[in-house]
Amino acid sequence: MRVLVTGGAGFIGSCFARLLLGPDSPLPVTAVTVLDALTYAGNRENLAPVAADARLTFVHGDIRDAALVDTLVAGQDAVVHFAAESHVDRSILDASAFVGTNVVGTQILLDAALRHGLGTFLHVSTDEVYGSVEKGSSREDHPLLPTSPYAASKASSDLIALAYHRTHGLDVRVTRCSNNYGPHQFPEKLIPLFATRLLDGRTVPLYGDGGNVRDWLHVEDHCRALCAVLTDGRPGEIYNIGGGTELSNRDLTRLLLDICGAGWESVELVTDRKGHDLRYSVDSGKIRDELGWTPRNTMDTGLAATVAWYRRNRDHWQRSPGPDGADPTADAPGTR
Ligand code: NAD
Ligand code: TDX
């Protein structure tokens, strides 16, 4: 099996590439091509454990480059599409790259897939497309009510991807996962930002009253779910992926403080995110029942192991400038 992984130098895409090329690979891969623009969020070091594998080819390029994408999609069995601008706060400051990469980039990939009669196009999406959920959990047939420009760009790309299935019969599968945590995440999202700041003895910026709720899943469990969808999922279907671990940001912050040996005095309550969704919650019954997927990691051990990774890998994140070379841990964009 030959797989093109877009965004494979990022947090989740690199975990997926490491899984495919690792000793417990769930897929019989003969070639993995990573296409990544190496934006501030991408880092080739994330692929270091598999860099020597002859099956891996790294291509530094942009999914919006139609000519490049055309040559790379040719001959693949599957495209697993992670490449995206992924940070909500940045989309509030400037949405242009989000529309360019997440919407237009996806359409360019889909057109190439169509031209080359690609086997399967797996579009990796997010629970944020359902918007804030007051009670219960979002099922795959629930309406899309995205709030942030990031979520709206992902919802747009989901719809375009599914349209290529309905219109052209392309084998498109869409997954919508909850918040991921684990090693190699750029230190702008809550868990790596708070962990790295606490490890440096600094304060952490908690938005609003910290009452917002997210469902957390270990990144390796997300990647195993994607393999299950790739092998046993059905064309044209959407699969929610969730950890069933809902936590308020306040409770999650307490866990991180405990792990890092800090107290509540390290928390600064700061101005809330604009349009801050109160709660995300996905119903993952479909992937559990149809594909037999279930998470292996629990937050109890997974969170401490994640913080331990950041403790051991200072070099990795201390050399991670954000856009314009700014230190991403110095300020959470859009809040202060
Ligand atoms: P990330 O920001 O860590 O990585 C994104 C990668 O895409 C980076 O390596 C970046 O260099 C690359 N990229 C960006 N623009 C590109 C372009 N124009 N061309 C080629 N490469 C480009 O993101 P992530 O957290 O790994 O998320 C991966 C995917 O999973 C995204 O589509 C995101 O929407 C989705 N997702 C993320 C989460 C989460 O909790 N992080 C949850 C559900 C879904
Ligand atoms: O400094 C912060 N303080 C804070 O209170 C940051 C960065 C975040 N928060 C809050 C906002 C959210 O309620 O923590 C929660 C998590 O925030 P993020 O880590 O930015 O994640 P979120 O906005 O939930 O989106 C994430 O999950 C879904 C990913 O960034 C998306 O790519 C994915 O689609």
Work out the mean pLDDT of the chain and round it to a whole number: 95
What is the C-alpha separation between 103 and 80, in angstroms, rounded?
A: 16
User: Which of 189, 198, 282 to mutate for ligand 2's pocket (most ligand atoms within 8 Å of CB)?
Assistant: 189
Q: Please give the pLDDT value at position 335.
A: 40
- Tens of pLDDT along 218-267? 999 999 999 999 999 999 999 999 999 999 999 999 999 999 999 999 99
Task: Pick the residue whose CA is nearest to atom 8 on ligand 2.
Answer: 190
Spatial separation of the C-alpha atoms in residues 252 and 262, rounded to whole Å? 13
Give me ligand 2 centre to Cα 333, in Å: 12
Question: Poorest-confidence range of 159-173, 194-208, 223-237, 310-324?
Answer: 310-324
Per-residue confidence (pLDDT) for residue 334, from 0 to 100 = 42
Evaluate if residue 329 carries a pLDDT over 90. Answer: no
Give the ipTM of the model, two decimals please.
0.99
Structural domains of the chain ordered from first start: 2-180+219-241 (3.40.50.720), 187-214+245-279+298-325 (3.90.25.10)
- pLDDT recorded at residue 181: 98
Q: How many angstroms does the Cα of residue 49 sit away from the middle of ligand 1? A: 20
Do 280 and 215 touch, CB atoms closer than 8 A?
yes
**Catalytic positions:** 127-128, 150
Ligand 1: which of 34, 58, 63, 82 to mutate, judged by most atoms within 8 Å of the beta carbon?
82
Q: Residue 161 Cα, ligand 2 centroid: separation in angstroms? A: 25
In the prediction, which pLDDT does 319 show?
63
Instruction: Quote the pLDDT of residue 316.
Output: 85
- Distance between CA 324 and CA 330 in Å, rounded? 13
Inform me whether the pLDDT recorded for 120 exceeds 70. Answer: yes
Q: How far apart are CA 334 and CA 271, in angstroms?
A: 9
Beta bridge mates, 206: 269
Burial of 37 (0-12, 13-18, 19+ CB in 10 A): buried
Q: Please identify, by atom number, the ligand 2 atom nearest to the C-alpha of residue 151.
A: 34
Residue 129's pLDDT band, with cuts at 50, 70 and 90, is very high
- Which ligand number lies closest to the CA of residue 109? 1
Which of 74-78, 147-151, 309-313, 324-328 has the lowest average pLDDT? Answer: 324-328
Token readout for 41 is 């969020």
Q: Separation of 7 CA from ligand 1 center, angstroms?
A: 6
Percent of the chain residues topping a pLDDT of 70? 95
Q: What does the radius of gyration of the chain's CA atoms come to, in whole angstroms?
A: 19
Cα-based distances in Å from 327 to 228, 321, 331:
37, 5, 8
pLDDT reported for residue 325: 66
Tens-place pLDDT, residues 174-218: 999 999 999 999 999 999 999 999 999 999 999 999 999 999 999
Answer yes or no: is pLDDT of 46 > 60: yes
* 41 CB-near residues (< 8 Å, 6+ apart): 10, 11, 85, 86, 87, 186, 188
- The residue whose CA is least distant from atom 30 of ligand 2 is 87
Whether 147 is in the pocket of ligand 1, judged by its Cβ within 6 Å, is no
* Mutational pocket test of ligand 2: of 204, 249, 331, the residue with most ligand atoms within 8 Å of the beta carbon: 249
Ramachandran bin of 334, using left for φ above 0, alpha for ψ from -120 to 50, beta for the remaining angles: left
**pLDDT tens digits, residue range 85-100?**
999 999 999 999 999 9
Which pLDDT value is given to residue 94? Answer: 97
Closest ligand (CA of 102): 1
Nearest ligand 1 atom, CA 83? 7
